[in-house]
Amino acid sequence: MSDPFRDALRMAALYLVLSVLWLALSDQLLSSLFDNPQQLARWQLISAYAWVLCSALLIFSSRARLLNFIGVGARLRREDRERLRMAAAVFDSTLEGVLVTDSEGLIVHVNRAFMRITGYDKEEVIGQRPNKFKSGRHDAAFYQEIFATLAQKGEWSGEIWNRRKSGEVYPQWQTICSIHDDCGKLSHYVAVFSDISAIKHTERELIYLAHHDPLTDLPNRLLFNDRAEQALATAQSNKRGCALLLLDLDHFQSINDGLGHNVGDQLLKVVGERLKALLGSGVTLARLGGDEFAVLTEQCPQVGPAAALAQNIIDAMKEPFILDNQRLFVSVSIGISLFPSDALSAEQLLRNADSALFKAKASGRAGYALYTEELTAHAQQRVETTAELRRALEQEELRVYFQPVHDLRNGAMIGVEALVRWQHPERGLVPPGEFIPIAERSGLIAEIDNWVLRQACSQMVQWQAEGRQLLYVAVNISSRLFSQRDLYQQVAKVLHDTGLDPALLELEVTESAVMDNPEVALEQLHRLRELGLRLAIDDFGTGYSSLLRLKRLPVQKLKIDQGFVAGLPHDEDDVAIVRVIIALGKSMGLQVLAEGIEQVEQAQFLLEYECELGQGYWFGRPVPAQQLRWN
């Protein structure tokens, strides 16, 4: 009870006690004091005045206290009302839905946000139970858990799926509190919730983005690895196999560089679509990055079907792609690895498929290769060879051999090609095919080519001094060196250091080196040409030259790849190709040289079709400088 009220009561009680005492005792007290009736009457009058005064004082003071109390109460009630009004406003304007039930679980109040989120009007839900909104996504145990937590802690928070009036199921983040009255008895439950479907959507979108390639909409490496792990686990428990095919587009870089990244992107997209259509469902297709795609299939557990699938893919890619009204031809190389015969983990399977892909690329592209144990051995050997190659360079184990180049018309040796060998202390003479690709991968090729160039130039200077009649020495330059901006400076330095006349030097670059990155190659070739040396395109016919590009290259010679010469003069295809290359070279004012001439008939055929120059075992194998036979 508040103090002013208690004071007022206390005053009233005091007044009552004093009144009773006054009535009972005042007359007796005055009569005993005064015998004189006149005196007695005067004092009775005085005391009556005094009593009235005292009563008035007491009444005033308690009234003031009482009024004071009444005033405070009124003010308090006003504040409470204000507070309630404010709470109601907040309650109604908050973005969270609010639902209040009584202790029986019947809805007694909902706010505006509740109506907006659920789609229900107030009248439709008051008096009803909240299970009206159940989505059916949670079992009974879930709700029991909520009530148990509420009973124990008085509060529960969590994610819950409910159903809107429209029937749509959506996620809420909900907090439920139990409310107790002054006596501690449960009076209400208040649930506050927000609609988190937008957040969920973004979350889903983020998860999707993290697992898919935005360009092709295919699974990315992350998801592919995940699926591969799962597939292997299922395959293992079902005692079945599966195959992983790793695809890489051939010469994609030249499309990117020549036609622009936009076209490159579009091409990747349509390649993805074509693969998807070809493979159908039940197969995991992913883009692992760049122009690399992966296929995981449980339908081809054996070598035969897996190879057949690879061939299907290769054939499907042969159909031209139409982009921006242009017909684009692409081919694909595929590496295959099988579970469980080649590898037991997804990671290993992918690594093996990569080795197989490397093999497919090395053996001429537009084909597939299978992973075998032998390939793993190769990979290991590659690592070892790199270390050994470093040592070989330091300890000068490399040798330069020279193969003669002849004029087919008179048979005279007019030049030589420098070809590197490795005099291995245990393995003997190692041909370049076994270490050049490794040197290219490890970057050692720059040093090797530079060394060979220096040796060849020095040798040529020496021959000149000896009066040997040679028009040129040809040196092979790896495509890897094209990415080095200072390539022409390195060549210029060697020419300067050795003192060789640049006109006596010819550099050979392979056709695929030029076509893999035509813009860069073009720039490099122009710079080299400015040094005064000559340029030849090696292994011509194996790349995918566009004639237009070829015309722009500052080259003076085409070397027909020995693969086409081998079939001469009987293989019709080879005959046709060789004739076309010779005619093409001539029409562009280029010299044409045929490599790999092993038989006199081949030389005769070539001469007949006006190929000027030839090189091959028929004329002479590559040999050390001192073993060259001079005219």
The item of Mg ion, ligand C2E, none sharing an interface with residue 536, based on CB under 5 to 8 Å by kind, is: none
476 binds ligand C2E (CB under 6 A): yes
Q: Coil, strand, or helix at residue 484?
A: coil
Report the 3 state secondary structure along 199-210: HHHHHHHHHHHH
Given a contact cutoff of 8 angstroms between Cβ atoms, the answer to whether 189 and 177 are in contact is yes
The reply to whether 574 sits near ligand C2E by the rule CB under 6 A is: no
Site for ligand C2E in 389-408 (CB under 6 A): 403
Which helix H or strand E contains 623, and what residues bound it? strand 623-624
Q: Is 107 helix (H, G, I), strand (E, B) or coil?
A: strand
Rounded to whole angstroms, the Cα distance separating 474 from 478 reads 13
Contact 175, 192 (CB under 8 A): yes
**Measured distance CA(163)–CA(157) in Å, rounded:** 18
Least separation in angstroms between CB 453 and ligand C2E: 8
Measure the N-to-C terminal CA separation of the chain; round to a whole number of Å: 132
Torsion of CA 510, 512, 513, 516, to 10 degrees: 170
Q: Which of 411, 431, 532, 554 is the binder for ligand C2E (CB under 6 A)? A: 431
Q: Which residue of 284, 595, 613, 614 would you call a contact of ligand C2E, by CB under 6 A?
A: 595
- Span interacting with ligand C2E, options 79-87, 463-471, 573-581, 593-601, rule CB under 6 A: 593-601
How would DSSP label each residue in 331-364?
-EEEEEEEETTT-SSHHHHHHHHHHHHHHHHHTT
Applying CB under 6 A, the site for ligand C2E has a residue count of: 24
- Quick check: 342 and 371 in contact, CB under 8 A? yes
Query: What secondary structure letter does DSSP report for 154?
Result: S
Asked if 135 and 163 touch (Cβ cutoff 8 Å), the reply is: yes
Which CB atom, from 97 or from 596, has the smaller least distance to ligand C2E?
A: 596
Q: Is the peptide bond before 569 cis (omega within 30 degrees of 0)?
A: yes
Q: How far is the CB of 548 from ligand C2E (least distance, A)?
A: 25
403 binds, among Mg ion, ligand C2E, none (CB under 5 to 8 A by kind): ligand C2E
User: Which of Mg ion, ligand C2E, none has residue 617 at its interface (CB below 5 to 8 Å by kind)?
Assistant: ligand C2E
Residues in contact with Mg ion, shown as a per-residue x/- string from 509 to 548 under the rule CB under 5 A: -----------------------------xx---------
By CB under 6 A, name the one of 96, 248, 298, 449 that touches ligand C2E: 449
Q: Which of 420, 513, 555, 611 binds ligand C2E (CB under 6 A)?
A: 420
Does position 254 bind Mg ion by CB under 5 A?
no
Asked if 611 touches ligand C2E (CB under 6 A), the answer is no
Q: What angle do CA 611, 613, 616 make, to 5 degrees?
A: 115
Q: Which is nearer to ligand C2E, 254 or 615 (CB)?
A: 615
From the list ligand C2E, Mg ion, none, partner contacted by residue 335 (C-beta under 5 to 8 A by kind) = none
By CB under 5 A, the residues from 538 to 597 that bind Mg ion are 538-539, 595
Residues near ligand C2E (CB under 6 A) are 403, 419-420, 431-433, 436, 449, 452, 476-478, 508, 538-539, 562, 595-598, 615-617, 622
Residues of the shown chain interacting with Mg ion in the complex, contacts defined by CB under 5 A? 476, 508, 538-539, 595
